[in-house]
Amino acid sequence: MAIKILICASTFPRFKEDGMVDFVWQQARYLKKHYSHFEVHVLVPHAPESLKHEVWEGVHIHRYTYFKPESAQSLVYPAIWPNIKENPFRLLQVPFLLLSCYLATKRLVKTYNFDLIYSHWFTPQGLMCNKVARDNNIPHTLTSHAADIIILKKIPWLGPFLVKRIIPQFKAISFAGSRGRDQALAFFNDEQQTAIADNSQVLPMGVDLQLPEQQIPKPETTIGESLKLLFVGRLAEKKGITFLLNAMAQVKAKGLSVHLDLLGDGPLLDTIQKQVKALNLDNDVNFQGFVNGQEKFRFIQNTDLFVLPSIVTADGDAEGLPVSLLEAMSAGALCCASDESGAPDIIDDGETALLFKAKSSDALAAIFQQVAKMPEVQRQQIAKQAKAAGESFLWDNMIHQHAEFLILPFINGGTGVK
């Protein structure tokens, strides 16, 4: 008999080839790939362009309507908090999302009799699925990403109350980065922190490596030639792109030619385009839009330096551990990342990648100068060590860590066999 797992999330591809962040989908498909006796279901909010139910590679995907008319659903995709900041009136949809998530989870549990519920993000899934899990005596586990717990500090009294009451009820909690775990633990006293720490792990998402069959050889780069930079990610404030562009302008003024391929889309596209123009970088920045699959990895393999300039914003929005960095490392790229990106959890500065101070264009400009002058043999050595480190995060490896911590111990006495 199949073991039935329900994965609940709020960010998921709306359709095949969607530009939406897809690590929940990748986790689900690799879980099905390596644990064929699992019947994997995913429950996510509906979008106007999505189907209500479909099956991808054996994974059942259920989408629930959370607002009427369906065409007015604008809270969830691409991300809840940035959408609210863009239009505060979207807060009106939050109660409907919470209630709809609860009711949809309740309906699916009644229909499929799940063995375990696994939520991504404490808010809203962790909150809403918790009651369903408790009412039906189903084990419930959680993965927390970035600011989904700390954001509840913005809700006086009620937010901290919910964190303190519900977090201890999860069978296991994984955090995408150590910053998120530390922020969650800060809600509790010392004794409670010890108990929660014993029940949690820092466990990054994995990488779905899609290398092109043929790689175009790239010439060696010297100080007199253009340094090829690459950014991959959503164009949002926490990505720190403003500091990346300022750093480019600084080194350009000092005579270093730099070129940036910007892969991604998002709410700050117009702002970034205006900044590029104001800094006279029109000929140095190429806006590629959303790029995925082999095409994305072709960019990664042919860059001189992958740049992750992430920051913690004034309202606390931050990265967990960006999958884009893991992708670049596993593909053998020379990478640099800010100390607020989550990268310090996984890299050794100067060995597997280069670290710089967040929100400092000067620090990033210094990295550009350093890489431009770096001997090719040193670049290749760091990239080789990055690849070795990054390969441990491939989903074929990571999925077992996820399953062994978040799923298998809570099914049939920990055997995972039914």
Q: Are residue 31 and residue 163 in the same domain, yes or no?
A: yes
284 and 338 together in one domain: yes
- Considering the domain architecture, whether residues 263 and 324 belong to the same structural domain is answered as yes
One domain, residues 180 and 243: no
Answer whether residue 295 shows pLDDT above 70. Answer: yes
Tokens 């593909």 found at: 331
Query: Cα(344)–Cα(349) distance, rounded to whole angstroms?
Result: 8
Q: What is the pLDDT of residue 213?
A: 64
Higher pLDDT, 220 or 57: 57
Report the percentage of the chain scoring pLDDT > 70: 96
42: DSSP letter:
E
What pLDDT score does 215 carry? 56
Looking at the structure, tell me whether residues 199 and 307 fall in a common domain.
no
Task: Domain of residue 123: give its range.
Answer: 3-206+395-414
* 333 pLDDT more than 90: yes
Nearest to 139 by CA among 363, 374, 414: 414
What's the pLDDT at 360? Answer: 97
Position 417 scores a pLDDT of: 53
Instruction: Please compute the mean of the pLDDT values over residues 80-104 and round it to a whole number.
Output: 92
Categorize the per-residue pLDDT at 104 as very low, low, confident or very high, splitting at 50, 70 and 90: very high
Residues in the chain: 418
Per-residue confidence band for 224, with pLDDT thresholds at 50, 70 and 90: very low
Task: Report if residue 321 sits inside a domain.
Answer: yes
Check whether residue 378 and residue 249 sit in a common domain: yes
* Average pLDDT of the segment spanning 98-108: 97
User: In this structure, is residue 211 part of a structural domain?
Assistant: no
* CA distance linking residue 30 with residue 26, whole number of Å: 6
**Domain total of the chain:** 2
78 and 103 together in one domain: yes
Q: Give the strand pairing for 200-202 and 173-175.
A: parallel
Q: Percent of the chain having pLDDT more than 90?
A: 79
Q: In what helix (H) or strand (E) does residue 308 lie, and over which residues does it extend?
A: strand 305-308
Do residue 347 and residue 267 come from a single domain? yes
Q: What is the pTM of this model?
A: 0.89
Amino acid (1-letter code) at residue 76: V
Same domain membership, residue 246 and residue 376:
yes
What's residue 21's pLDDT?
83
User: What's residue 272's pLDDT?
Assistant: 97
Question: Which CATH number do you get for residue 331?
Answer: 3.40.50.2000
Domain assignment present for 135: yes
Residue 5 and residue 114 in contact, taking contact as beta carbons nearer than 8 Å? yes
Give the pLDDT score at 20: 82
**pLDDT at site 418:** 44
Domain match, 298 and 164 both: no
To the nearest 10°, the Cα dihedral for 56, 59, 62, 63? -50
> Average of pLDDT values for 342-346?
90
pLDDT tens figures, 232-286: 998 989 999 999 999 999 999 999 999 999 999 888 999 999 999 999 999 999 9
| CB < 8 Å & 24+ apart, contacts of 193-197 | 195/168, 196/167, 196/168
Q: How far from chain centre, in Å, is Cα 176?
A: 8
pLDDT in tens, 120-151: 999 889 999 999 999 999 999 999 997 889 88
- Category of 156 on φ-ψ map: left (φ > 0), alpha (ψ -120 to 50) or beta: beta
- Residue 292 pLDDT: 85
For residue 266, is it within any domain? yes
Report residue 203's pLDDT band, with 50, 70 and 90 as the boundaries. very high
pLDDT category at 293 given cuts 50, 70, 90 is confident
Classify residue 381: in a domain, yes or no.
yes
Which helix or strand (DSSP H or E) is residue 141 part of?
Answer: strand 140-144
Tokens of 245: 């562009």
Stronger pLDDT, 150 or 402, i.e. the higher one: 402
| Order of strands across the sheet that contains 285-289 | 285-289, 258-263, 227-232, 305-308, 335-338, 354-356
Mean pLDDT over each residue of the chain, to the nearest integer: 92
The answer on pLDDT for 216 being more than 70 is no
Checking if the pLDDT of 76 tops 90, the result is: yes
> What mean pLDDT do residues 354-362 have?
97
The answer to whether the beta carbons of residues 175 and 184 sit under 8 Å apart is yes
pLDDT digits (tens, 9 = 90+) for 158-195: 999 999 999 999 999 999 989 899 999 999 999 999 99
Q: What is the mean pLDDT of residues 370-374?
A: 95
Is 357 part of any domain?
Answer: yes
Cis ω before 124 (30° cut-off from 0): yes
Q: Look at residue 107 and tell me whether its pLDDT is greater than 90.
A: yes
C-alpha distances in Å from residue 11, one per residue of 3, 80, 95, 312: 24, 9, 18, 21
Shared domain for 192 and 244, answered yes or no, is no
Query: If DSSP states are collapsed to H, E and C, what string results for 162-206?
Result: HHHHHHHHCCCEEECCHHHHHHHHCCCCHHHHHHHHHCEEECCCC
Q: Identify which of 96, 94, 78 has the alpha carbon closest to the alpha carbon of residue 13.
A: 78
- Whether residue 416 has pLDDT greater than 90: no
Nearest to 127 by CA among 163, 168, 81: 163
Same domain, 198 and 296: no
pLDDT score, position 338:
96
* Inside any domain, residue 260: yes
On whether residue 219 sits in a domain, the answer given is no
